[in-house]
Amino acid sequence: MASKRIAQADRTRCVSCGACMQECPREAICVWKGCFAVVDCALCVGCGMCMRICPADCITLVQREAQA
Amino acid sequence: MKAKQKHWYNYLWIWTIVYFLLGFFNILFAWLGMIDFLLPLCLAIFGGNKWFCNHLCGRSQLFTVLGKKLGCSRQRPAPRWLSSKWFRYAFLIFFLTMFGNILWQTYLVFGGAASLREVVKLFWTFRVPWGWAYTAGTVPDWAAQFSFGFYSLMLTSTLIGLIVMALFRPRTWCGFCPMGSMTQLICKAKQHGKIPQEIQ
């Protein structure tokens, strides 16, 4: 069953350092061409590990339905 | 859950420690830091990615090892302004100006207008005598002057990184790292208006 919440990165504030990518246990987040982090909704389980490591504090957990 | 596969580049934090140790014995090793300076730029310009920041940066790995694995970080969110655009770009400009100053000093020594100063300048302010790490005359004075200047820059930025690592999250430095800002700018310029529909 899919998780209720998933991670979402604020692209305007993401510094594309890749800390989230290193942290993610599911390899559900990657840095798109050095511009910003992108979450794979199908893989993300909303554990929040990326949110807690992000140096720019730009990742939040959102309701799966409410994702932009 | 299966453990992530380890690669050789997961251990580059050792390289960061070795780099600074080498500088204690012979300052000329500071030139090796140019790899950390040019490689991210090359990857961003020709590859259009931040593979260096994402996988190869020994400094960020060191912050992760110390801050996360060894618990030397408070793990608190950093103030927002620290990773805001104006601060990142202001710091980038400041950093490049300071790098330009190193080049200028090197040029002055090269031209004979200034003499070699065997000091490491920390935080662009404090002069630390570092003469033991260089025997005069080994290389042209300008090459040694650049070593002292560049080592100062590398050491200062690592110390700032360690301070913010301890105070906030392990990789807080990445939020305003000048190399990170510069490579992200290049990548964004390359991808301008090309974001595919599926990730928008």
What pLDDT, in 10s, does the model give residues A1-41? Answer: 688 999 999 999 999 999 999 999 999 999 999 999 999 99
CB contact under 8 A, A34 and B173: no
Cross-strand partners of B122: B126
B44 vs A16, B13, B81, B171, CA distance in Å? 12, 21, 25, 20
- Please report whether residue B27 resides in a domain: yes
pLDDT for position B4: 81
Domain that holds residue B60: 9-189
Interface contact B188, partner A, CB < 8 A: yes
- Please report whether residue B57 resides in a domain: yes
pLDDT in tens, A32-61: 999 999 999 999 999 999 999 999 999 999
- Please report whether residue B196 resides in a domain: no
pLDDT for position B193: 80
Q: What is the DSSP string of chain B?
A: -PPPPP-GGGGTHHHHHHHHHHHHH-GGGGGGGHHHHHHHHHIIIII-S-HIIIII-HHHHHHHIIIIIS--S---PPPGGGGSHHHHHHHHHHHHHHHHHHHHHHHHHHHTSS----EEEETTTEEEE-GGG--TTSS-HHHHHHHHHHHHHHHHHHHHHHHHHHHS-TTGGGGT-HHHHHHHHHHHHHTTT---GGG-
Number of structural domains, chain A?
A: 1
Whether pLDDT at B33 is above 90: yes
* Lowest mean pLDDT segment, chosen from A62-66, B37-41, B59-63, B175-179: A62-66
- Please report whether residue A20 resides in a domain: yes
Domain that holds residue A24: 5-63
A15 vs B39, B66, B149, B171, CA distance in Å? 18, 21, 28, 11
- Please report whether residue B200 resides in a domain: no
CB contact under 8 A, B184 and A16: yes
- Please report whether residue A47 resides in a domain: yes
Number of structural domains, chain B?
A: 1
pLDDT for position A16: 95
- Please report whether residue B1 resides in a domain: no
State which residue of chain A sits closest to B73, comparing Cα positions: A53
State which residue of chain A sits closest to B165, comparing Cα positions: A55
Which of B78, B184, B199 is opposite residue A34, by nearest beta carbon?
B184
CB contact under 8 A, B181 and A15: yes
pLDDT for position B186: 96
- Please report whether residue A68 resides in a domain: no
> Domain of A51: which CATH number?
3.30.70.20
CB contact under 8 A, A15 and B180: yes
- Please report whether residue A11 resides in a domain: yes
pLDDT in tens, B34-92: 999 999 999 999 999 999 999 999 999 999 999 999 999 999 999 999 999 999 999 99
Exposure string for B144-175, b = 16+ CB within 10 A, e = fewer: bbbbbbbbbbbbbbbebbbebbeebbbbbbbb
CB contact under 8 A, B50 and A18: yes
pTM metric for this prediction: 0.92
- Please report whether residue A44 resides in a domain: yes
pLDDT for position B200: 65
Q: What is the mean pLDDT of residues B146-170?
A: 96
- Please report whether residue B112 resides in a domain: yes
Q: What is the DSSP string of B20-60?
A: HHHHHH-GGGGGGGHHHHHHHHHIIIII-S-HIIIII-HHH
CB contact under 8 A, B175 and A33: no
pLDDT for position B124: 92
Interface contact B138, partner A, CB < 8 A: no
- Please report whether residue B72 resides in a domain: yes
Shortest CA gap B195–chain A (Å): 9
pLDDT for position B60: 96
Q: What is the mean pLDDT of residues B173-200?
A: 90
pLDDT for position B1: 59
Q: Is A55 exposed, middle or buried (0-12, 13-18, 19+ CB in 10 A)?
A: buried
Interface contact A32, partner B, CB < 8 A: yes
* Separation CA B165–CA B158 (nearest Å): 10
pLDDT in tens, B106-155: 999 999 999 999 999 999 999 999 989 998 888 999 999 999 999 999 99
pLDDT for position B97: 97
How sure is the predictor about B103, in pLDDT bands with cuts at 50, 70 and 90?
A: very high
Q: What is the mean pLDDT of residues B6-22?
A: 95
- Please report whether residue B141 resides in a domain: yes
